[in-house]
Structure formats: C-alpha cells, structure tokens
Amino acid sequence: MLTQPCGHVANPSGSQACPHLALPSEEPGRHVRVMTGVGMEFNLVCEACDRAGEPVELTVICEGCAERAFDGRPLAWRGSAGIPERPEPMRQVYRWSPPDDLGEVLDLAPVWGDRRSRWLALTADGRIAELHPDDDSATVRASLALPDEPDHEPFLDRVLRRRLHASACGRFAAVVNDYGKLGLVVDLDRDGAVTMELHGGGYHAETVPFSLAFAVHDGRPVLVHRTEWNRLDVSDPASGRLLTERTFASGADLDYFHGRIVASPGGTAVADDGWIWHPVGVPLVWSLRRWLDEDPFESERGPSLHKLCFRDYHWDMPLCFVGETAVAVSGIGDDDIAMLAGARVFSVATGEELTTFAGPEGGYFSDGVRLYSTHADGLHVWDPVTGHRTGTVPGFTPTCLHHGTGELAAVTAGTLIRWRR
C-alpha cells in the first residue's frame, strides 16, 4: 500500500477531496458532496471551498477517510448523479371522459380485487361514483355529507384536502381529510351507509396525511387507521368492530406521530411514514399478519417492526411497497437541507437497506416489478434492483395504481387517463 495525500497508508478510495479535507490527520467533517455524473459517485468539498465558487483542485483520499465522510451528514449536494438507462417499449396512454354530470373529481381510488378496470371517484359535491371505462359507464354509489374542519390551520404547505380510499373488493370506501382529523367509512353495497366515523386525533394532525389504508386479511377487507396521534388500530369496515384491542400502561413511551399508511398488495405488511419529535422522519414497516393473528402490540414493539431510516425535518414523502418483500422510500440523505432525489429500497423482513439509486422523485408506485415515479415532465419507470431508468411517459402524472390490471391512472381536466407497462 502507498501513503495517500491524506497521510494514511491505505488503499485509495474512489472519491477525491479538496485540500482542506485531505490534510493528514484531519477528519473530513462537514462537507458538500459534488456528484461526478457517474452513478452515485461524488467528491468531497469543504464549506469554505464551496462558498468560494471557484474550481477546486481535488486530491485522492484513502478508503478510511472516505468511509468516515460518507457516514457524516453533508451540507448539500451539488451537480447531478449519473442515471443509467435501459430503454424498454412504453405503451400509449388511454383517455376516457366520464359523464359531464359528475362534475369536478377530487380524488380517484382503484378497485383492484380483480382484473377489471374499476375505479371509484369522489366528486366535489360529495358523491362517490364507480367508473368502468372499458364499458363506458359510470354509476353513482353514494352521496355523503363530507366531514368539515372549520378550525383547521395549515402547516407550511400542507393544506386540508379530501382523500378517497377504496377496499380491494369495492364494497367499502373511506373519505378522510388529509392533514386533518376526521373521516367516514361507508358501505357502498348499502347505498353509502356510514359504518364508521373516524377521528384520528387532533394533536399535530396538520403535519401528516390521515393515516388510513384498506388491506386484505384472510380474504376479507380490514381497515388500518389512526385513532390517536400516536396509535394505530385495525377495524372491520363492515361493523366498525376493533380488531386490535389493547391497553397501554400509564406513561407508556408512545412518541411516534403516525403519517401516511400503505398496505402491501398481499396484505402481509404495513408501512408508515410518520415522525418523532423534534421532528425526525422515521419510516416504519411491520407485519400485518402478526399484528392481527399474534400480537395486537406488534405496531409498537413487535419483532417485525423496523425503523428504516432517520431524516431530520423530512417526512410525508413518497413511499410504496415493491411486491411483498421490499419498501421504496423517497430521498437520499439524513436531513432535508441536503436531500438528493432518489430511492432507498429496504427489506420488509429485516429493515436492511438493499439498494440506493438516484433519480426518482414525486409520487411512488410499484407493480412489484418496476418502480414508477412522477416528475414535472411526466412518469418515469425504474428497475428497483439495478436503478436503471427503463422509460418515460411524457405529460402523464398518475395519482394511483390498480394492482389488478397494473394500470396507473389519474383524472385530469375531467378525463380519466390510464397507462400500463
């Protein structure tokens, strides 16, 4: 081995650093990461050199110095990552116009329990309509008095909005206030009869979407939902019966603000994008089967519960299951002031980080084979194992994925737009 410019007898790393970070015996410390344009490779520049705005003469550092720097938190990212491309054929989008009398559609949810293209749409006047674009038909299934929250005060850019959720079988729907505390569950087979009135707790509810997701367990629909800012439960949507009855000891340390909930398509696991005080975003994943079949405390302290990563001031970000075995989380970094657009993919079973690659941003969806992300210019398609971008669909920004047909869809300007790989 040779003595490197950093003063250590070691192998050279693949990264270089400015002279101030390459001094012998100096710890790399806080730094700016400058992307080289080759994959995720980057060089290290100190804060002073970064502020100077002049070209920096870089020098090699050893593997140990690079590893210590990589474990630290960068002040910022500069430049662009290199995104590998592996183009695949992309289909065209299909457009269908629902009846004009539906009016404005606020949200769309897939009914994905079979391979028919079925969707529920929530209208501005509180109706829930079932859409069958392949049959050119739409049927109003319910008309609701939507829950209102006149005392709501927005947090930063998080404004109260109506959100529609649908069970896979299409019998049940939930309408909730994202960044609020109220919601309803209705039985569409009973003309929209209300089966549950939801209250997710008011403590800092304005910081997160309403925690709720339908899942399938033992062949029947169940509802995962927030009942307090720091408690989730599972209920039977037909009756409202609580399926996770438990009592916490006085003073129990429950400090997690539950956020967006996502259930895996097969109903094996749940992911949660919430935060802990001060605030730190901490995405979680745990087994839904263990929670319902073995231990009602699984979501708080069970062996399947994994904290995937910690990100200061960074939560309420895209995440999705990639099949039943992995979760993709948006953003590469540990602090919102230095977050690189990209995906981190974690194991559901162990919480281990499986792969990281730059590029994906916006909304996340996956059919178990590809990862999809929404960008300002449209949909981008990714291989979640290798990080290759395999295609784009310009101008199409879907809001949901139908697991039965594989379609991504959105309602834009009164038109239902669908696409599948």
Sketch out the chain's domains with CATH numbers.
2-78 (no CATH), 94-419 (2.130.10.10)
- N-terminal to C-terminal alpha carbon distance within the chain: 50
* 34 strand-pairing partners: 43, 78
Instruction: Using the predicted structure, report yes or no on whether residue 24 has a pLDDT greater than 70.
Output: no
Q: Which amino acid is at 41?
A: E
Give residue-wise pLDDT tens across range 283-298: 999 999 999 999 999 9
Instruction: Using the predicted structure, report yes or no on whether residue 181 has a pLDDT greater than 80.
Output: yes
By percentage, how much of the chain surpasses pLDDT 70?
97
Instruction: Identify the weakest region by mean pLDDT among 71-75, 285-289, 345-349, 401-405.
Output: 71-75
Q: Grade residue 393 by pLDDT with cuts at 50, 70 and 90.
A: very high
Q: Enter the DSSP assignment of 248.
A: P
Do the beta carbons of residue 61 and residue 17 sit within 8 Å? Answer: yes
Q: Grade residue 206 by pLDDT with cuts at 50, 70 and 90.
A: very high
- Residue-level pLDDT at 25: 53
Do the beta carbons of residue 355 and residue 248 sit within 8 Å? Answer: no
By percentage, how much of the chain surpasses pLDDT 90?
84
42-45 and 31-35 as β-strands: parallel, antiparallel, unpaired?
Answer: antiparallel
Taking residues 221-239, what's their average pLDDT?
A: 98
Do the beta carbons of residue 276 and residue 282 sit within 8 Å? Answer: yes
CA distance 300 to 323: 23
- Residue-level pLDDT at 184: 98
* 327 strand-pairing partners: 321, 346
- Residue-level pLDDT at 68: 73
The string of DSSP letters for 145-174 reads: -----TT---BTTB--EEEEEE-TTSSEEE
Q: What is the H or E stretch that residue 75 is in? A: strand 74-78
Instruction: Using the predicted structure, report yes or no on whether residue 158 has a pLDDT greater than 80.
Output: yes
Instruction: Using the predicted structure, report yes or no on whether residue 26 has a pLDDT greater than 60.
Output: no
Q: Grade residue 146 by pLDDT with cuts at 50, 70 and 90.
A: confident
Taking residues 262-282, what's their average pLDDT?
A: 96
Taking residues 237-257, what's their average pLDDT?
A: 91
Report the chain's mean pLDDT, rounded to a whole number.
94
pTM of the model: 0.94
Instruction: Using the predicted structure, report yes or no on whether residue 29 has a pLDDT greater than 70.
Output: no
Strand order across the 74-78 sheet: 59-62, 12-17, 42-45, 31-35, 74-78
- Residue-level pLDDT at 287: 98
Q: Enter the DSSP assignment of 265.
A: T
- Residue-level pLDDT at 98: 95
CA distance 337 to 363: 20
Give residue-wise pLDDT tens across range 99-112: 999 999 999 999 99
- Residue-level pLDDT at 60: 86
Give residue-wise pLDDT tens across range 30-78: 789 999 999 989 999 988 999 998 888 898 888 887 777 766 788 999 9
- Residue-level pLDDT at 62: 85
Give 274's contacts (C-beta < 8 A, 6+ positions apart): 208, 211, 256, 257, 258, 259, 260, 281, 282, 283, 284, 315
Instruction: Using the predicted structure, report yes or no on whether residue 152 has a pLDDT greater than 60.
Output: yes
Return the structure tokens found at 246: 């438990």
Do the beta carbons of residue 336 and residue 313 sit within 8 Å? Answer: yes
Give 339's contacts (C-beta < 8 A, 6+ positions apart): 77, 311, 314, 331, 332, 333
Return the structure tokens found at 244: 């996770």
How many alpha carbons fall within 13 Å on the CB side of residue 275?
19
Positive/negative CA dihedral, 269, 271, 272, 278? positive
